């Protein structure tokens, strides 16, 4: 039930919904001009102030593309992954391709408010495109979307409050991006090795391989003074602690996330439910490598809460004789050299089917500092990592707070205070 003064409407009743077009790609005179041209990949719950591609006045005139004014809301009607249903607001005059719906709100409707409202309905709207065989959204589908319409002044107040959370999130994201750059520089300086691609989402060209794979030739830099150049087999060994599975007993099965994302619980099963009978216990502090996913950086240290869990023989469990701190090895795994040695120690005809050979990898030389220096480096990197994680948690917290606030403000469960003029209106 809507609060007093609000009413329910459809998007088609409060807005005119159109779409754009694409000039002929074979005509050079239509492209490279000064008219911004938006594609669905640029619609990411944002305000668009520039575009990757631009068209000419001739391209605009000789196609179904149209110029839309600032304040127009755009929604991606097609697109893979998360794209379909995402919304943006134009901060500039721009044209769009035909996969973008342009929503021109009538008088009495705030673009900022409906940007927030459509953002909050992303999942619901996105699913409308999955009815039957229709995988995309359309103008007709969007016109039928039901929306709540508060008085204009209240729309503006709500939008202003939610924008404050957006601004705080953007600022914290900027701080996080800077901190991650600093982290990469610190990693390179302390390990004397360039860092690997930081994540599976890296956008740089990687020779056709996924961003998280580092297939280049391993090239170890000069050994720093006081360090040793040694194969890891000198101090690391693969350990096996067979787990005799019992039908009625429960076991925690763990996995390792790509891009050094950590060791985590996958599922809990009874012995008779586990399809792979060869299981092995892991202990807190073990260094764990996924033999099928290490080319993507799947390795990490077993945390205390997963002590006593089990893994199959598709994981390598490594221990040290005490001369290599396994936390140091964990940070070493974030270097490009480490990743490249893992790739070259794996066999297979396709990157997703490669199998890591532990004994081959342990023969690669690494530059290893004395144990006290390893621990000093771990302390420095631990502190820097905590600063990155703190900012990540702050962003997550801001998003959760905004989501809760949106649920209340955009449904009228929580009202904003209006001045006397607003109340009279």
The string of pLDDT tens digits covering residues 104-126 is 999 999 999 999 999 999 999 98
* CATH 3.90.220.20 domain residues, the chain: 7-149, 214-367
Between 208 and 239, residue with greater pLDDT: 239
Residue owning tokens 């807005």: 15
Task: Single out the residue of 311, 304, 257 nearest to residue 285, CA to CA.
Answer: 304
Position 425 scores a pLDDT of 41
Question: Model pTM?
Answer: 0.80
Predicted pLDDT of residue 363: 97
Q: Residue 193 and residue 229: Cα distance in Å, rounded?
A: 13
Burial class from Cβ neighbours inside 10 Å (0-12, 13-18, 19+) for residue 50 reads exposed
Least confident of 120-134, 207-221, 285-299, 350-364: 120-134
Q: To the nearest whole number, what is the mean pLDDT of the chain?
A: 92
The domain at 214-367 falls in which architecture? Alpha-Beta Complex (3.90)
Q: Contact at 8 Å (CB) between 364 and 225?
A: no
Give the integer Cα–Cα distance in Å for 142 and 212: 38
Task: Summarize the confidence of residues 400-420 as an average pLDDT.
Answer: 85
Domain 7-149, CATH class in plain words = alpha beta
From CA 181, how far away is CA 391, in angstroms rounded?
Answer: 13
Average pLDDT over residues 255-276: 94
Provide the angle, in degrees to the nearest 10, between the axes of the packed helices 371-409 and 111-120. 110
SS3 call for 75:
strand
pLDDT at 19 over 50: yes
- Nearest of 291, 278, 282 to residue 244 by alpha carbon: 278
pLDDT band at 257 (very low <50, low <70, confident <90, very high): very high
CA-based torsion, 375, 377, 381, 384: positive or negative: positive
């Amino acid at each position: 039930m809507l609060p007093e003064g609000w009413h329910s409407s459809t998007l088609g009743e409060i807005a005119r919904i159109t779409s754009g077009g694409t000039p002929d790609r074979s005509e050079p005179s239509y492209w490279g001009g000064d008219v911004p041209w938006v594609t669905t990949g640029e619609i990411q719950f944002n305000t668009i102030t520039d575009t990757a591609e631009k068209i000419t006045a001739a391209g605009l005139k000789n196609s179904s593309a149209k110029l839309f004014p600032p304040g127009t809301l755009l929604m991606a009607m097609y697109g893979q992954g998360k794209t379909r249903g995402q919304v943006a607001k134009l901060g500039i005059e721009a044209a769009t391709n035909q996969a973008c719906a342009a929503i021109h709100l009538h008088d009495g409707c705030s673009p900022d408010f409906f940007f927030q409202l459509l953002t909050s309905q992303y999942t619901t709207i996105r699913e409308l495109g999955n009815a039957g065989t229709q995988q995309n959204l359309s103008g007709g589908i969007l016109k039928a979307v039901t929306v709540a319409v508060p008085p204009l002044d209240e729309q503006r107040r709500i939008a202003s409050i939610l924008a404050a959370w957006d601004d705080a999130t953007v600022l914290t994201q900027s701080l996080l991006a800077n901190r991650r750059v600093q982290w990469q520089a610190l990693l390179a300086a302390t390990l004397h090795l360039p860092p690997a691609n930081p994540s599976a989402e890296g956008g740089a060209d990687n020779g056709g391989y996924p961003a998280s794979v580092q297939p280049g030739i391993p090239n170890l830099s000069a050994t720093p003074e006081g360090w040793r150049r040694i194969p890891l087999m000198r101090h690391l060994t693969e350990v096996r602690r067979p787990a005799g599975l019992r039908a009625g007993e429960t076991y925690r099965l763990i996995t390792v996330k790509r891009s050094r994302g950590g060791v985590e619980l996958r599922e809990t099963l009874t012995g008779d439910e586990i399809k792979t009978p060869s299981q092995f216990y892991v202990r807190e502090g073990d260094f764990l490598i996924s033999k099928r996913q290490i080319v993507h950086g799947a390795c990490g240290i077993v945390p205390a809460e997963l002590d006593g869990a089990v893994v199959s023989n598709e994981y390598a469990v490594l221990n040290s004789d005490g001369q290599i701190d396994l936390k140091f090895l964990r940070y070493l795994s974030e270097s490009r050299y480490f990743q490249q040695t893992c790739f070259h120690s794996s066999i297979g005809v396709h990157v997703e089917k490669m199998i890591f050979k532990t004994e081959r990898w342990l023969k690669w030389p690494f530059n290893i500092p004395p144990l006290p220096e390893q621990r000093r480096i771990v302390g420095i990197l631990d502190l820097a990592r905590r600063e990155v994680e703190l900012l990540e948690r702050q962003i997550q917290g801001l998003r959760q707070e905004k989501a809760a606030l949106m649920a209340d403000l955009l449904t009228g469960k929580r009202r904003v205070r209006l001045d006397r003029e607003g109340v009279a209106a």
